[in-house]
Amino acid sequence: MQYIAYRTYWRGSLVPPLIDQHITDVATARWGAVRNPRLAEIVRALIGHLHDFARDVQLTEQEWATAMDWLTRAGQISDDKRSELILASDVLGLSMLVVEMNYALHPGATSAAVFGPFHIEGSPELEFGADMAYGVPGEPLYIVGTVRDLDGRAIGGATLDVWQADADGMYEAQLDTAEARLRGKYTSRPDGTYCVRTVAPRGYSIPMDGPVGELISRTGISHFRPAHVHFRISAPGYEPLTTHLFQKNAAYLESDVVFGTKADLVVEFQRRPPGSTPDGRTSDVPWLLATYVFVLQPLP
């Protein structure tokens, strides 16, 4: 009985059954001696899972070499503006899983979503309703609302760091430009209100010219993200919130390649005729209005 189970599992291989497990045991014991207990815990679990993975799929040496080459190229194509390994984590669902595990959501608080690779630090500080498109063409979009706490109280002085792609799906970080474009930092007013003026985002493809794109191209998986605007909101005493707002009924909402879409982050972009806008000005052209209340949770 023992013998049959062993032969079935190893598909007829003559490898003695305990040698491979012995390597795992020795490796986990050795790495268990790492001085930092948390690092020891992480590395031991990593070894256990990696070895089990290799056993489960009966990894061949050729497949192992292909994986090492893929990881090497992912590192080589990365620089200070691009991380192919973070992109890999995003498309495999790992980034969003880590977000979910670490942003323990109180009922009523706004959901978090992946940070993504295209945020730029030090965006210009903008007034209520100032235009963060800086002339980039597109349909005018106002995102207005309030920042509140779990009890509905207004949070004044919150910083809303906002960024998005242009109509071609390109972020400033992907372009060779010295000027800030499609990003800005707004501050909520004492009554919690904020007003972002921008242009409507469009859905876009993640970068497909590297090893991640190569892998996705070998599948039928969509490589698009639905139209969205990124926010990182912080206020003293509250947990910083990194999230997106998605346009309701946008393409790819159901198939976001990085698993970022959440029902409470989907908002209607209402079409408005020319006329007065939320910043007290007048628009000569039709514009879009999205209204959203961000709810922050207190620091633990």
177 burial via Cβ count (<10 Å: 0-12, 13-18, 19+): exposed
CB of 95 to ligand BEZ, least distance (A): 7
β-strand pairing of 287-295 with 140-148: parallel
Q: Is 206 in the site for ligand BEZ (CB under 6 A)?
A: yes
How far is it, in rounded angstroms, from Cα 269 to Cα 129?
A: 17
Q: If binding means CB under 6 A, how many residues of this protein chain bind ligand BEZ?
A: 9
Q: Is 210 in the site for ligand BEZ (CB under 6 A)?
A: no
Q: Is 231 in the site for ligand BEZ (CB under 6 A)?
A: no
- Residues of span 140-179 touching ligand BEZ by CB under 6 A: none
Q: Which of 196, 199, 180, 203 shows the shortest CA–CA distance to 255?
A: 203
Question: CB atoms < 10 A from the CB of 234, how many?
Answer: 14
CB of 86 to ligand BEZ, least distance (A): 7
Mark residues 101-140: x for contact with Fe ion by CB under 5 A, - for none.
---------------x------------------------
Q: Is 133 in the site for ligand BEZ (CB under 6 A)?
A: no
Q: Which of 260, 112, 293 shows the shortest CA–CA distance to 194?
A: 293
Task: Find out whether 232 and 240 touch, Cβ atoms under 8 Å.
Answer: yes
Mark residues 90-109: x for contact with ligand BEZ by CB under 6 A, - for none.
x-------------------
Nearer to ligand BEZ, 56 or 168 (CB): 168
CB of 119 to ligand BEZ, least distance (A): 8
How is 148-182 classified by DSSP, letter by letter? Answer: E-TTS-B-TT-EEEEE---TTS--GGGS--SS--S
How far is it, in rounded angstroms, from Cα 7 to Cα 23?
A: 20
134 burial via Cβ count (<10 Å: 0-12, 13-18, 19+): middle
Q: Is 227 in the site for ligand BEZ (CB under 6 A)?
A: no
Nearer to Fe ion, 34 or 85 (CB): 85
Write out the residues near ligand BEZ by the rule CB under 6 A: 87, 90, 114, 116-118, 206, 225, 258
Write out the residues near Fe ion by the rule CB under 5 A: 116
